Amino acid sequence: MKIEKNTDRFEVDVLKFSNLLEIEGAWTASDFASLLEMMEFGDISQMAESELREMCLMSLQDQEPDEAAYFVLKQNIGNGLKENQLRNMSHEMLTEKLWEEYVDPAFHERLFNVGSLL
């Protein structure tokens, strides 16, 4: 049996580069409603779905940065991590891009979504 190395070469030109700030559709009206409930916002039953995101963002801004991060982490990946892990991550998110650094790649997209909302 003879194995030959593939000697094909490809040349690639980067035509455009842009930063991705948010994944479209990552957050739903239901997610925003859950976050508002978690932050004890009050009655949202009469609120239009289109208003939920804005109210959620305003409510997050009223929180301390680490507490806002905790709420969003708990909503997005709460079932995958322990309470103290979420608390630690909520502090780390203030200075680090956890979606690039977290050990388990299964959490990278969810951590990016948390960071983009915050």
Q: Where are the beta strands (DSSP E) in the chain?
A: none
List of residues 6+ apart from 42 with CB closer than 8 A: none
Specify the pLDDT at position 5. 64
Question: What pTM, to 2 d.p., does this model score?
Answer: 0.79
Block means of pLDDT (10 residues each) for the chain, length 118 residues?
Answer: 66 88 92 94 90 95 95 90 92 90 88 93
State the helix-helix crossing angle for 65-77 and 49-61, rounded to 10 degrees.
140
Core vs surface per residue 55-81: b (16+ CB within 10 A) or e: bbeebbeeeeeeebbbbbbbbbbeeeb
Specify the pLDDT at position 1. 56
Three-state secondary structure call for residue 49: helix
Report residue 58 as tokens: 């305003």
